[in-house]
Chain A
Amino acid sequence: MLAIIRIGDDAYGVSISNEIEETTGSEVLLGSVYDALARLEAKGLIESSLGEATPERGGRAKRHFRTTPKGLRLVRETQQSLVKLWKGLPQLKGGEA
């Protein structure tokens, strides 16, 4: 979800997996990316539409993804929950850990 939001309008399988790889520093399987996207779409958190086809894709169309209002709301709520959880970690105060 965060990768889709970061990329914006050009979010499709390759750009999403590239974004995750650059951010995390580890390689991802396209299959796992598509699996996650399918689950998010089934839950109504993202939506997709077919885009243009190019020769290097073997003439196959891109599937562009974007977040729905419901998905954006859930991201905000998750962010707030995470911030609250981080604030409650005493071990990380004062740079001890």
Chain B
Amino acid sequence: MRVRPAPPVATWFLKLFCSGPEHESAIGDLMEKFQQGHGHFWYWRQVIGLVVFGCYRNAGRRSLELAKRIPLKEGAALVLSLAVSSALLLSALWPLILITTIGGVVIAVLLSSFGGRAPIPDVREPRIVGIDSSKITVGGGAGAGLLIVLLLASVLYELPLLRVWASPGLLLGVVFAAALRFWRKFHPRDITKDWISIKPR
């Protein structure tokens, strides 16, 4: 019997979120139903359904701590890789996607070469201290997730405007992040907190 290959990006996306042994039979069922003659669009919808319901179930099982944070670098790398992978589906804009991907890899290499974060001066102003921006909050992660869902929706529902703007938006985000990183590196004393605000003199 000839086995029809499933959409590889969708399968990768599924394995990314549903890799545990408890998901094996569900993935097998999806493969089996796909072999019965369903299309790629059906497969994508089922994948998203499995991921959403799987995540919902896991969230219910472990009590999600709102204060839980993940390190900025790892979180940004995860969000960037997910967003770029989603953008890879936007086949009409391959050159921009290629630039975005290469840019992301270059930034990752530069970040790992230069080592840790730039030193932040001790700031005494009461309004400025108190925010640890070296971590991504759950809200930030949810925002990034929303962006990814939007990108996937643009692919699934063929929204032409989103397709046109998604990759340039990603590219601008990468450029902005790189510019901010280099500004922080060479002007550490001018920055009071590593968001965007500059210390007034």
Partners in one complex: yes
- Set A13, A35, A62, A63: member contacting B53, Cβ < 8 A: A35
B154 to chain A, nearest CB (A): 21
**Cβ contacts under 8 Å, A14 to chain B:** 29, 32-33
- Set B1, B24, B50, B57: member contacting A30, Cβ < 8 A: B50
A31–B29 CB distance below 8 A: no
B31–A60 CB distance below 8 A: yes
Interchain residue pairs A-B with the least CB separation, the first 8 = A60-B28, A13-B29, A31-B49, A29-B49, A31-B53, A63-B25, A57-B28, A31-B50
B33–A34 CB distance below 8 A: no
Q: Which residue of chain A has the shortest Cβ distance to B47 in the bound complex?
A: A31
Given A29-B45, A29-B46, A30-B46; A57-B29 close (CB under 8 Å): yes
Chain B interface secondary structure, helix, strand, loop or mixed? helix
**Cβ contacts under 8 Å, B28 to chain A:** 13, 53, 57-58, 60-62
Chain A interface secondary structure, helix, strand, loop or mixed? helix
Q: Which residue of chain B has the shortest Cβ distance to A48 in the bound complex?
A: B25
B24–A12 CB distance below 8 A: no
**Cβ contacts under 8 Å, A53 to chain B:** 28
**Cβ contacts under 8 Å, B25 to chain A:** 12-13, 50, 60-63
A29 to chain B, nearest CB (A): 4
Q: Which of B3, B25, B30, B57 has the most A CB atoms < 10 Å from its CB? A: B25
A20 to chain B, nearest CB (A): 13
- Bound CA span A41–B25, Å: 15
Verify if A38 is at the interface (C-beta below 8 Å from B).
yes
Number of interface residues of A (CB under 8 A): 22
B41 to chain A, nearest CB (A): 12
- Set B3, B27, B50, B57: member contacting A60, Cβ < 8 A: B27
- Bound CA span A38–B20, Å: 15
**Cβ contacts under 8 Å, A30 to chain B:** 26, 29-30, 33, 46, 49-50
In chain B between 10 and 56, which residues have their CB closer than 8 angstroms to a CB of chain A?
24-33, 35, 45-46, 49-54, 56
Verify if A56 is at the interface (C-beta below 8 Å from B).
yes
Verify if A95 is at the interface (C-beta below 8 Å from B).
no
**Cβ contacts under 8 Å, A23 to chain B:** none
A56–B3 CB distance below 8 A: yes
